C-alpha cells in the first residue's frame, strides 16, 4: 500500500485525493491518501502533492508549520512529487514576489497570474508529452513558467509559454489537473516515473 500525502494547509485537497485514487486504480496500485497540515508526515509518504490555492498563503503556512524543509527533503529524496498552480509557484526557484518563499525544488522561474485578466479562468486542450491525447487543462489565475533550467523538461506549452514541466521526480503544472475526471497527469507524475 502506497502512502500519498496531499499538502492541505490551503487549496483543493479532496479533488486531488480523488484523482490520486483514480490514477492508482488505473495503474493497479493501492494507495492511502493523507491530508497534511502539520510537520512529521511528509517524510513517511511515498508520493507527495502540493496543490493550487494562494501561493503567498501556502508558503507562509508551510514555513509556520515547519513543513517547508520536509518538502525540500522529500523532493531531494527522489520520490515522486506533483505540484500544481500555486504549488508550482511555491516549488519554483523564483516567483518574483517577496511574499512567496520559494522552495527551489524545480529549477524554473514563474510569473504569477500571467495569462491576463480576461483569461482569469479558461480551459484548453493541451498536448502533453507522455500522454497520447490532449489533456483538458483548467487554468485559474494561472502562472506561466519563465526561465527553465538545464535539467528541466518542458512537457506542455500554452500561448508559447511552458505550463507543464518535469525535473527528475518532480512534475509541475500551471493548470489544475484535478478539476476534470481525467487523472492522467496524476498517473504520469506518480505511477509512470522515468
Contact residues for ligand GLN, defined by CB under 6 A: 52-55, 85-86, 89, 112-113, 140-141
Q: Which three cell numbers stand for residue 114?
A: 500571467
C-alpha angle 31-104-143 in degrees, rounded to nearest 5 = 80
CB of 103 to ligand GLN, least distance (A): 14
Nearer to ligand GLN, 20 or 174 (CB): 174
CB of 84 to ligand GLN, least distance (A): 7
CB of 176 to ligand GLN, least distance (A): 6
CB-neighbour burial class of residue 150 (10 A; exposed 0-12, middle 13-18, buried 19+): exposed
Nearer to ligand GLN, 39 or 140 (CB): 140
Which residue in 16, 29, 70, 178 is the catalytic one? 178
- Hey, which residues does 34 pair with through a beta bridge? 5
Which residue in 16, 29, 45, 176 is the catalytic one? 176
CB of 43 to ligand GLN, least distance (A): 25
Nearer to ligand GLN, 173 or 183 (CB): 173
Which residue in 69, 85, 123, 153 is the catalytic one? 85
Query: Has 178 been annotated as catalytic?
Result: yes
Residue nearest to ligand GLN (CB): 52
Nearer to ligand GLN, 60 or 141 (CB): 141
Q: Which residues are catalytic?
A: 85, 176, 178
Amino acid at each position: 500500500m502506497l502512502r500519498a500525502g496531499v499538502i492541505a494547509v490551503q487549496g483543493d485537497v479532496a479533488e486531488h485525493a480523488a484523482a490520486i485514487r483514480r490514477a492508482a486504480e488505473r495503474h493497479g496500485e493501492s494507495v492511502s491518501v493523507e491530508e497534511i497540515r502539520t510537520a512529521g508526515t511528509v517524510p513517511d509518504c511515498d508520493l507527495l502533492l502540493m496543490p493550487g490555492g494562494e501561493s503567498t498563503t501556502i508558503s507562509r503556512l508551510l514555513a509556520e508549520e515547519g513543513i517547508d524543509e520536509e518538502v525540500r527533503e522529500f523532493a531531494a529524496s527522489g520520490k515522486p512529487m506533483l505540484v500544481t498552480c500555486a504549488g508550482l509557484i511555491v516549488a519554483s526557484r523564483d516567483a518574483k514576489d517577496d511574499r512567496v518563499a520559494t522552495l527551489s525544488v524545480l529549477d524554473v522561474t514563474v510569473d504569477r497570474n500571467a495569462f491576463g485578466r480576461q483569461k482569469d479562468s479558461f480551459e484548453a486542450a493541451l498536448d502533453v508529452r507522455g500522454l497520447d491525447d490532449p489533456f483538458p487543462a483548467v487554468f485559474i489565475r494561472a502562472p506561466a513558467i519563465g526561465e527553465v533550467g538545464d535539467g528541466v523538461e518542458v512537457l506542455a506549452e500554452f500561448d508559447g509559454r511552458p505550463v507543464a514541466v518535469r525535473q527528475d521526480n518532480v512534475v509541475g503544472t500551471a493548470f489544475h489537473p484535478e478539476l476534470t475526471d481525467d487523472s492522467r497527469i496524476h498517473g504520469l507524475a506518480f505511477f509512470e516515473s522515468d
